[in-house]
Structure 1
Amino acid sequence: MISGGCAHKIEVDNLENGEIIRHKLLLIKGQIRHQTISTSVSATHATSKCTGQQTIALLVKSQSVEYKRKHSTGRLVQQQSQISRNGQFKLLTDLSQHVAESENQQLPLKLELKFCNIVQHLQIFYESVTLNQNSYQLQPLYIVCGDRKPSKEELHENCEKINLNLHLVQSIYAEQLRSAGFGRRTFALHKGCQVFETRQRCEQVWQQNEDNLWQNFAQELLNSCAWGEKPNLKFVAFIGCTKYDGEKVAASEDFSYANIRRHLKGHAALGGGGLALFGTGYFYAWPKNVSEISSCFSNIKPVDLTLFPDDSNYRRTHGGVYATTLGSVVHEIGHTFDLGHTKDGVMGNGFDYINQVFTTDNLTECLPDRIIQQQAPNANVAQPANRPRFTQLKRTSNNFLQKYHEQKSSEPFYFTRNCLIILAHHKWFTYLNCNNGGAEKAEDKLIIYDAISNCVISKAVESHPLCLIEVRSVDNSLVKCWYEMQSDKDKNAIYKFQLPREAIEAIQKNHYLFVLTQTGLITRLCEG
């Protein structure tokens, strides 16, 4: 589009006209490009009309007739973003500011993007979805001890941070699945953050490692009156009494991540089964409202290790802490949705880079890789989870040039294809299609492995075709290899799959099979 002789063009990369959005935070990404000027407009004249500005403005306006009738005009929300050196822009907006008049109503919103003398219009629909009690949802919790209840101000601020950042995580999952061609599927949040008062005292919490914290809190939730009989809920819980002894860290003059972690009590970053559990020691770097998100990611203020713990993968900045710890939330929540570990991407080495999803003009970040630790000996105690996962930092030297080219050519924060397939078919992600079918675990002997023919077989012919098979390590659920069943409307559904030699050899050496059907049935084979 040329307006007033301007040669610029606005291209939106991740949003189409008429698209329906069911998550409250929307990231809009795009490019400012130059386009060919028609012969009727001279290049000199077009250039003279350009303002030379380096920001793009977004105006969001409600188009609901009912809303306009009650409020005289549609509500306007405006914000701006800097344009990167290569013309890239990213805008994050809160669609929930435009409240629909009734539940499940598709509220039409007009997006107006302005740059230089160009105006680009898009119309989208924000749908506030009401979920019934049988829907699969994620419930945020703030865990407090009876002997140390926070003030109302502290409680309110921390719960607001939890709500905001889980909505951001919800948006991230939707963006990742959309970019892979699965549509804006994501999980649903049950309610705002709720307080859960544990029977444990602060001293008891501080004395436990994260594995024991996870198991004890999981069992408490399972046995609680409020949350115990809710099989359709998974929980994301934050421990309110996390404490850090910065004075001892400073006295030791050992500022390694391992030593910082030793002096951080009541902390966890662990997910699996029905619970993802985290500490609150890093909330000092988290935003409280949408307008602070970008600046928190970009915050280069050094971490004062005498006052605050650092988990930034050695970036040592407030922005690095926010990126790594929020990325960890995305990663550990992924485990509750049955994702294993991968060598690359969010479920591997890539979750530190979540900041680059929302920021532009990013410098190359050459961060240490991570190692996947083996299971703790008592990780299989009877409880509602399958197996907690453990991710630790490994300080190594990396190839800067390789990282430079990788981050220049594509965003380093991504889910690998096999993870996206699992999420797209997972019952916690199909609620948007009003489909509560499928099951987290397959019925006994519905999906089997025939050791004689080396085949995975779905015995539910015509109803549960195979979708994905992963070969995972028993020790840490690291995916060694995976196979996608290429069955769709144009091809015959697959109910029998013969394993390649590499998979057969792996399951004979401490690996198991993770099997997913097109209908969302999940089973694990060859574990024993």
Structure 2
Amino acid sequence: MRIKIKNLSNPTSVQFPIVIVKGCVENYTQEVWKDAGTRTFLILHHQSSGSVKRCEEVQMEGLKFKLLVRLLPGENILTFDFLGIKDSLHVWYSEPTNEHTVRLVYVIPSDHDGKFQGPENSDCSVESAQQRILLAGELLQTVVAESLWDEGFGRKSFNLEHDVHILHSKLSTEECWTADKESLWEDIGREIMQSQFKHKKCKYLAFLCCTKYVNPNKIEPFSFAQVLKMTKGYVALGGGGLGLFGTASLWTWPTHLTKVQTRLLDEQRIDSRTLMDDSAYRGTVGGMFATSLGSVLHELGHCFDLGHAPTGVMARGFDDLDLYLTLCSRKPVSTGRSSLVPCSNWKLSPEPPADFDLILDEGHGSQDPSSPRFTSIRRTESVSKYLENYARRRYKTETSQSGCGVHWTEPCARILSKQKWIQISQCTEDKVYLQCIQAPLCCDPDTLEIREAGGKFLRYWTGAQEILALTDAEILVNGGGENTGDGGGGCTKKGVIASGVVITQCGEVIRMEYDRIKNSIIIKK
């Protein structure tokens, strides 16, 4: 009998504070399965810097486990103990060196006290909101890193600031309630760019505290459209450098990591007569936590230049965040909710107005991330890389049939992994000219994707050689719905190109759109 860690090599090095550990017990006897196969636990000892940090029970189901661990800077030794059988995992945590960061903002209207809506007797204070939002940001770091690793792009994530900034808006509560989503996005974005925490290398996730569900007749809504009509200040919109969200679901977000999995599995029913139900028709506290946090991940994807995809996080796969972070075995929401669409109405993500800059294109990362030295473990870099890749391939094979919607399509994963906020890459400055869109690039292109109206995926190409050889006619024909076979992204449905992006090896992003009058691709200003 042995304990096997399925998703992390030993040792592992990360630059984000929370890791997800997935494992199981193998080679057990029939007696062990009879006694512990249905539901049992193992013991986790967490040591850092030579002292025991904590000891806790980890719940298992079917002799499998999945847990979230908060790391301390430096070496973390995680020792698992099941019936006297032990195994240890070494995880090194170092602070990220990426200058491009994601900032969290809590927006308070000029006439509001800052408290968000929630059940009676729950802590809805500004301080509680900051705790919930910060933990949510850290969880998204973990999900991005783990899901990119699932797709073969390494366990890397965006750099998140450890504070939640307070923006005292000039807008009144009523103005926030009556403004349309796009205008509210623009107004909040403009205020952020005029505030003291403006920074040209930041993207922002902002949360509007005044979202309010108003149901005076205490009816039980029969559809989400009806729920939205009774919700003031509801928004979930991302693009450029800003994702803006309402806070009607914030009360379901925990303040401490130890409560995350319990909350995701919480089957308590939401009283839709008094509180907004944004749970993808599940009607539970756990479902609302999963869907609302997942929607932040989806809109963050738009901020990282991702369009809508046929499957995965950039479709409706974000609803399945509970499946991804726990041992929950329910049917994935994303496979049975075709009536639900991302971004509420599948519209193009908004672009910022000309008078403030939330789309950033300056600077190239010049620093290389530092890696800790594992002097006590004799393993060559090539062997470690081989074992890491082997573990990833095997784990992905084992989990591919689960149906969990938290994954990235290949073009989304490629574009995401190359972002300056995700990866530090020194630009080679080997300037090239991309003939198909008549644009100079600072270095070789990595991925080119074209999209139809609504930012919906049409086709993509990868690799400098293939992309540089493209002509504008090829893009227009492929974007017009021709079946192009197996090359690139293989457009297999009719569609008309409306927009697209190119990302270079160093993370520079060029946005383009289709000019119907000129019948040509132009660079978006």
Structure 1 residues 47 and 54 mapped into 2: Cα distance closer, same or farther (>3 Å)?
A: closer
Which residue number in structure 1 is paired with residue 204 of structure 2?
Answer: 235
Q: Distance in 1 between matches of 2:80 and 2:244?
A: 39
Contact 2:239 2:350 in 1 (8 A): no
Question: What does 1:292-303 correspond to in 2, within 5 Å?
Answer: 292-303=259-270
Contact 1:465 1:494 in 2 (8 A): no
Which residue number in structure 2 is paired with residue 71 of structure 1?
Answer: none
Secondary structure of the 1:203 match is helix
Question: What does 1:81-120 correspond to in 2, within 5 Å?
Answer: 81-85=58-62, 87-95=63-71, 98=72, 100=73, 107-120=74-87
Matched, 1:18 2:11: yes
Show CA shifts across 1:46-98 (max 9, x none): 86998777212221101x3xxx5xxxxx132223332223x321011111xx3
Q: Distance in 2 between matches of 1:341 and 1:360?
A: 28
Residue 263 (structure 1) shift: 1.2
Aligned residue identity for 2:280: N
Structure 1 residues 407 and 311 mapped into 2: Cα distance closer, same or farther (>3 Å)?
A: farther
Aligned residue identity for 2:293: L
Question: What does 1:32-43 correspond to in 2, within 5 Å?
Answer: 32-34=25-27
Show CA shifts across 1:479-511 (max 9, x none): 1111222x6xxxxx5562336988432546343
Residue 167 (structure 1) shift: 0.2
Structure 1 residues 438 and 422 mapped into 2: Cα distance closer, same or farther (>3 Å)?
A: farther
Aligned residue identity for 2:421: W
Which residue number in structure 1 is paired with residue 447 of structure 2?
Answer: 468
Which has the higher Rg, Structure 1 or Structure 2? 1
Calculate the TM-score normalised by the size of structure 2: 0.78
Structure 1 residues 375 and 182 mapped into 2: Cα distance closer, same or farther (>3 Å)?
A: closer
Secondary structure of the 1:312 match is coil
Contact 1:58 1:80 in 2 (8 A): yes
Structure 1 residues 329 and 215 mapped into 2: Cα distance closer, same or farther (>3 Å)?
A: same
Contact 2:236 2:245 in 1 (8 A): yes
Question: What does 1:301-380 correspond to in 2, within 5 Å?
Answer: 301-366=268-333, 367-369=336-338, 370-371=340-341, 373=345, 375=347
Which residue number in structure 1 is paired with residue 380 of structure 2?
Answer: none
Residue 246 (structure 1) shift: 2.5
Aligned residue identity for 1:245: V
The match for 1:413 among 406, 413, 427 is 406
Matched, 1:481 2:448: no
Contact 1:438 1:520 in 2 (8 A): no
Between 1 and 2, higher relative CO (CA 8 Å, sep ≥ 6) is seen in 2
Residue 223 (structure 1) shift: 2.5
Contact 1:472 1:478 in 2 (8 A): yes
Residue segments in structure 2 that go unaligned for 5+ positions in a row: 116-122, 360-397, 481-495, 516-525
Contact 1:285 1:321 in 2 (8 A): yes
Q: Distance in 2 between matches of 1:348 and 1:377?
A: 14
Aligned residue identity for 1:448: L
Residue 333 (structure 1) shift: 0.6
Show CA shifts across 1:432-468 (max 9, x none): xxx46599xx99xx65344xxxxx67756xx722211
Which residue number in structure 2 is paired with residue 525 of structure 1?
Answer: 512
Residue 469 (structure 1) shift: 1.4
Residue 299 (structure 1) shift: 0.6
Matched, 1:512 2:499: yes
Tell me how large the CA RMSD over aligned residues is: 3.2
Calculate the TM-score normalised by the size of structure 1: 0.77
Question: What does 1:176-325 correspond to in 2, within 5 Å?
Answer: 176-224=147-195, 226-228=196-198, 230-248=199-217, 250-251=218-219, 254-325=221-292
Secondary structure of the 1:237 match is strand
Secondary structure of the 1:75 match is strand
Residue segments in structure 1 that go unaligned for 5+ positions in a row: 1-7, 36-42, 69-73, 101-106, 387-404, 451-455, 488-492
Secondary structure of the 1:326 match is helix
The match for 1:174 among 129, 138, 145 is 145
Q: Distance in 1 between matches of 2:416 and 2:460?
A: 15
Aligned residue identity for 2:274: L
Matched, 1:156 2:127: yes
Q: Distance in 2 between matches of 1:476 and 1:142?
A: 28
Q: Distance in 1 between matches of 2:328 and 2:350?
A: 45
Aligned residue identity for 1:29: K
The match for 1:427 among 420, 427, 440 is 420
Aligned residue identity for 1:150: G
Residue 378 (structure 1) shift: 8.4
Which residue number in structure 2 is paired with residue 389 of structure 1?
Answer: none
Question: What does 1:435-446 correspond to in 2, within 5 Å?
Answer: 435=425
Percent of paired sites with the same residue: 26
Residue 371 (structure 1) shift: 3.5
Q: Distance in 1 between matches of 2:58 and 2:146?
A: 19
Residue 150 (structure 1) shift: 3.0
Matched, 1:27 2:6: no
Q: Distance in 1 between matches of 2:67 and 2:190?
A: 41
Which residue number in structure 1 is paired with residue 55 of structure 2?
Answer: 78
Contact 2:435 2:468 in 1 (8 A): no
Contact 1:514 1:523 in 2 (8 A): yes
Q: Distance in 2 between matches of 1:89 and 1:56?
A: 9
Secondary structure of the 2:459 match is strand
Q: Distance in 2 between matches of 1:472 and 1:48?
A: 51
